[in-house]
Amino acid sequence: MRTMKLDTIDKRILRELQRNGRVSNVELANAVGLSPSPCLRRVRELETAGIIDRYAAILDQRASGYALSVFVQVTLERQVETALDGFERIIAERPEVMECYLMTGDSDYLLRIVVPDVTAYEVFLKNHLTRVAGVASIKSSFALNRVKYETALPLPDNDVF
């Protein structure tokens, strides 16, 4: 991945693609004030630089049958590289783990888990998470209501990026 400085047009392209990843190149070019060829060239440069990581459809979590979000704090017995690597490798394989962050503070990891219901979370907890070697403690918090959820990164108009 190479670094690149984003100008105003690049940011317009990224904002538009974050809103609608299926927009045609012609529609995108019109929206950002370019002709199609230069627009496509810029999109390809953003992809090559790794700024555009991938394209995806964003599913409605509840409509897809995953009504429950659980935030889980995991503390390991030891914070050595082998324990961290082992935990991360196992967690990366679990489809119900949507996000996993190595943290500072009271716990080593913060996970966001999606499951259909409490019973499914219990199965995940008993059959998978508690069986990971080196896990010292697990604290679960159930989300009652999602107040805000964004997938689009904020792109300021200045040249911070």
How would DSSP label each residue in 50-89?
TSS--------TTTTT--EEEEEEEEES---HHHHHHHHH
Q: Are residues 13 and 73 in the same domain?
A: no
* Residue recorded with tokens 């219990």: 122
Confirm if 110 and 72 have CB atoms less than 8 A apart. Answer: yes
Task: Find the CATH number of the domain harbouring 116.
Answer: 3.30.70.920
Measured CA distances, 27 to 21, 38, 47, 98 (Å): 11, 13, 18, 32
The answer to whether the predicted template modeling score (pTM) of the entire model surpasses 0.85 is yes
Residues of the domain holding 85: 68-142
Q: How many domains does the chain have?
A: 2
Q: What is the pLDDT of residues 64-123, one digit of tens each?
A: 999 999 999 999 999 999 999 999 999 999 999 999 999 999 999 999 999 999 999 999
Q: Are residues 34 and 78 in the same domain?
A: no
Q: What is the pLDDT of residues 148-158, one digit of tens each?
A: 999 999 998 76
